[in-house]
Amino acid sequence: MEALLGKTLDDLKQIATSLGFPSYVAKQIANWIYQKRIRSIDQMSNLSLANRQRLSAIYEVGFVEPSDVQQSVDGTKKYLFKVGSHYIESVYIPEADRATLCVSTQVGCKMNCCFCATGKQGFSAHLSSAQILNQLFSLPEFEQLTNVVFMGMGEPFDNTENVLKTLEILTSEYGLAWSPKRITVSTVGLIPGLKRFLAESKCHLAVSLHNPIPEERKELMPAQKAFPIADVIAEIKKYDFSGQRRVSFEYTMFKGVNDQPRHLKALVSLLDGLECRVNLIRFHSVPGIPLEGTTMPQMEKFRDDLNAKGLTTTIRKSRGEDIFAACGLLSTKKLEQGNS
């Protein structure tokens, strides 16, 4: 059966029309799913019994509970979801003043960044808008959520259509009516999807940068060949990030690879004139990847030097490393192999 979860209001209007329902029924269905978060079409009490039966003959609400959960010593939780014959992971990160969910957009990833466990897994499938949203709606801690980041498994702009549908539902009045300021979408810089996102959404943007020198970045991130970081930044500069919408750059630090004075100089030059933030990330060792993380004293010096050059820079706190939930560690490769 097809899920109603993940349908936009326009989608629901088409469904209502196709089943011979009055047009206002679409908004009623949206209210039941997104605001009341019911689990069964039978619970839609303001729809007639006959209409509920017609709807449930073709559709289901579409919630799928997590198959497993692991909890870190720091309170972070990693949830496993089964999607068809595949699996994905999402990460719940509670803090004193906020609670963030890191969601996945694909099973695996095509980008093959050399430092990322998800990239090493390879690509299996795109997630539908229902499967992306389900990571929020089936979360036991849903009521505590303050923020969502699209930084889990997959490249969001390799699945642009479903990501944009998800963002519409999260921010529209008929959906969750969240402020776009609560949502950040990350990308390695796929320009076609980036253009649509910047034009059609007001959510925050995070760009996976990791090295400002083109030839060196290409070694870390194959996407640099098709979408040079200079072109990505030129596209971003067409939009206003001086107000409430933010752009940040993610920079995982590797010893001797991207933490030298030449990198600092190139980074300052590359981001010159752009209102942005740089987030330095500690590298978490991944089996089979011959990279070593920069030491914390070196990271702190790099941060301080960038701040001194006028580039707002912070070091992101690492969470969930003991359960392989930290940045770059998500992978369902063993489950995918066992299921094939």
Q: Report the interhelical angle of 229-236 vs 261-270 (nearest 10°).
A: 40
Q: 89 catalytic, yes or no? A: yes
What number of CA atoms fall less than 13 Å from residue 112's CA on the CB side? 9
Kindly give the pairing relationship between strand 204-208 and strand 247-253.
parallel
> In degrees rounded to 5, what are phi and psi of residue 136?
-85, -55
Q: Tokens in use for 281? A: 């990330």
Looking at residue 309, its amino acid is: K
Cα distance from N-terminal residue to C-terminal residue, the chain: 23
Choosing from 102, 113, 327, 336, the catalytic residue is: 327
Q: Is 183 within 8 Å of 204 (Cβ atoms)?
A: yes
Percent helix, strand and coil across the chain, each rounded to 5?
Answer: 40, 20, 40
As a whole number of angstroms, the distance between CA 115 and CA 291 comes to: 7
Would you call 250 a catalytic residue per the annotation? no
Annotated active-site residue in 89, 155, 250, 336: 89
Active site residues: 89, 327
